[in-house]
Structure 1
């Protein structure tokens, strides 16, 4: 039987699996799917799966009229101790159960490709799942380990995602370089500073080549949340006024919108809990049309489709000066022109946090810009213009390289087989 190893990048937005042939020492193919799960509103037959994963989840969700439960950004809940379980179709799902569904889908597709059951994998993880919080980080790591076990992996090692990205970049080098790697995903931004050498690729002893790692819990989802708060929530009644008592006009509490401006909260939003409050505000606002949009959004599980529109706006601004925030569904009508200047003002706080963290990271680890030979930037969020500008302005004399923004990490993880040869 042939020997294979899977490199798995379980991501907030997309997940990838690279199949590594351990005998030929090469990657055969890489499978990429959106990190999405859809549970149909009604489960029809006993023996069949009661969910749809990946790209098929989107079409199934839309064809079902956006009923059922649509789950995105599962990775974000791994570190949340407040999340213990959610009930879907009268069944209990823990964080590990949900992650395992995506890992199982990747494994199934890969196993079909190689024609055997591969139980050996190197799975990527961010440097910090939730900033520098040891308790949350341990919780997330344990949940991810359990998910891998549930998905059918018996022989697993974990590798920091930016190190995976670095090893993918190492394959393109002709000589030794000191490289600063930035992996900008949907949930986190991770940095690694290390020595890469094409002659050492695959070597067991890489510990001394790794000089610094760090990360911050900000990524593309943070940008989308900031956009939703500034530009989205006004269409759902954030500035609605109501008459609490005759003659006393107040604005509805901003706290009502805390569960709709971040996707991980909207994922598990319990509309019934605050439904009466929302209906009361709607009534006392004189049945304000925009506030009615909030009720429609919650009752019809429209969160994903709204965030899809936000994503399109963001992508449009990666190479244009103007994009449109456009959404039309169930009498919710949004049509607004967004300029790159407006967008960058919205995400500026998050960009500044990444910038400040990078300063601290370099200072703490005594990294001098003049000692860096090259930069390697990867991850879907690396395409945001403000991010590109951040690195080019910070390191004007250093070449900025990039690989495949969605598969670099999984390929590098697949090249990390040396982890199985190291002694604990």
Structure 2
């Protein structure tokens, strides 16, 4: 029987698993799935939950008329102490349970590929799950560890995701380099400064080569949330007035719209009290047409399809100076022209936070820009035009490299088998 190791990048938007053959010392293949769960509307109360993962989840969700329970960006709830559990068809599921469904799917696909049960994995994690909060970070780590155990893994090590990306890049260089790695994903932006050397590939101890690590809880989801707030919520009745009493007009609570801008909130934004409140605001707003769109959005689980349109706009603006934010479903009609300049203004606050954190990271680690031999950018958010401009302006004379933005981390994690040989 051959010896295998899985490198697993459980991501906010997408997850990937690289299969590493420890005998041949090579990666055989990498499996990717969107980090999405869908629980069908029709369930048996006495049987385990029926669910699908990834692209199949999207297809089943659409086929079922966008009913059932659809969940995205599950990684973002890992550090949330306020999230205890959610109920799906009267079954209680905690954060580890939800992650388990995705890890188990990846494992089953990989096991089918190699024809055996692999129980050894290096799993990636952000430098900070929730900024610099050690309690939340420890909670997220425990939940992820539990999910790995429930998925069938017995030998598990954890590696910072940007370090994984760095080891993937190390396979492509011909000489020693001091590299700043920026891993910009859906949930976090992580930095690592380290020394890479092709002669050290596969070395058992790389601790002395890792000079500094850091991260901030901002990523592509933050950009999408900012866009939804600025361009989306006006179409769903933000600033709607309702009659709170005879002759007394108030504005509907802003929290309703903050919730539809955040996927980890929208995943669980289906309680009966919330629905009753929205119905009442609609009635007392004299059936405001735009506020009705909020009712349609919530009652028909349209959140994912709206955010798909936002994602398309973001992707188009990474290649062009103009795009359109278009959405048409169940009487909701959105057709707004969006310029790259306008988009950059919308995400400016988050861009400034990333830029400020980068300054802080370099200063605290005593890293001078001219000491950096190269930059390695990875993660889907690294493709955003404003992100590219940020790094080009900050390091005008430093070569910028990128690998496969969606599987680099998983590959590098698979190259991190040395972690099993280090003393605990």
Q: Do the two structures share a fold, i.e. TM-score over 0.5?
A: yes
Q: Distance in 2 between matches of 1:274 and 1:95?
A: 22
In structure 2, the partner of 1:179 is 179
1:198-209 superposed matches below 5 A: 198-209=198-209
2:228–2:310 contact (8 Å) kept in structure 1? yes
Q: Distance in 2 between matches of 1:230 and 1:73?
A: 21
Q: Distance in 2 between matches of 1:235 and 1:371?
A: 49
SS of the residue corresponding to residue 61 of structure 2 reads: helix
In structure 2, the partner of 1:5 is 5
1:1-400 superposed matches below 5 A: 1-43=1-43, 50-400=50-400
2:39–2:49 contact (8 Å) kept in structure 1? no
* Bigger Cα displacement from structure 2, 217-226 vs 300-309: 300-309
Q: Distance in 2 between matches of 1:267 and 1:200?
A: 44
CA offset at residue 331 of structure 1?
Answer: 0.9
SS of the residue corresponding to residue 20 of structure 1 reads: strand
Q: TM-score scaled by structure 1?
A: 0.98
Q: Which runs of 5 or more structure 2 residues have no equivalent in the other structure?
A: none
Q: Distance in 2 between matches of 1:123 and 1:364?
A: 27
Q: Distance in 2 between matches of 1:58 and 1:45?
A: 24
Q: Deviations over 1:249-271 (max 9, x none)?
A: 33222122121111110001134
CA offset at residue 373 of structure 1?
Answer: 0.2
RMSD: 1.2
1:271–1:298 contact (8 Å) kept in structure 2? no
Q: Deviations over 1:175-200 (max 9, x none)?
A: 00000000000000000000000000
2:45–2:89 contact (8 Å) kept in structure 1? no
CA offset at residue 49 of structure 1?
Answer: 5.7
1:100–1:150 contact (8 Å) kept in structure 2? yes
CA offset at residue 281 of structure 1?
Answer: 1.6
Q: Distance in 1 between matches of 2:412 and 2:329?
A: 41
Q: Deviations over 1:27-84 (max 9, x none)?
A: 0000011000000111269767610011100000000000000000110000000011
Q: Distance in 1 between matches of 2:71 and 2:96?
A: 14
Equivalent pairs counted in the alignment come to 424
SS of the residue corresponding to residue 319 of structure 1 reads: coil
CA offset at residue 272 of structure 1?
Answer: 1.3
Q: Which runs of 5 or more structure 1 residues have no equivalent in the other structure?
A: none
Q: Distance in 1 between matches of 2:331 and 2:120?
A: 50
CA offset at residue 158 of structure 1?
Answer: 0.3
* Bigger Cα displacement from structure 2, 307-316 vs 158-167: 307-316
Q: Distance in 2 between matches of 1:346 and 1:143?
A: 33
Q: Distance in 2 between matches of 1:362 and 1:83?
A: 34
SS of the residue corresponding to residue 259 of structure 2 reads: coil
User: Cα 1:90–1:360, aligned 2, differ >3 Å: closer, same or farther?
Assistant: same
* Bigger Cα displacement from structure 2, 32-41 vs 263-272: 263-272
CA offset at residue 155 of structure 1?
Answer: 0.4
Q: Distance in 2 between matches of 1:259 and 1:400?
A: 37
* Bigger Cα displacement from structure 2, 177-186 vs 44-53: 44-53
SS of the residue corresponding to residue 5 of structure 1 reads: strand
Q: Distance in 2 between matches of 1:250 and 1:80?
A: 32
CA offset at residue 16 of structure 1?
Answer: 0.2
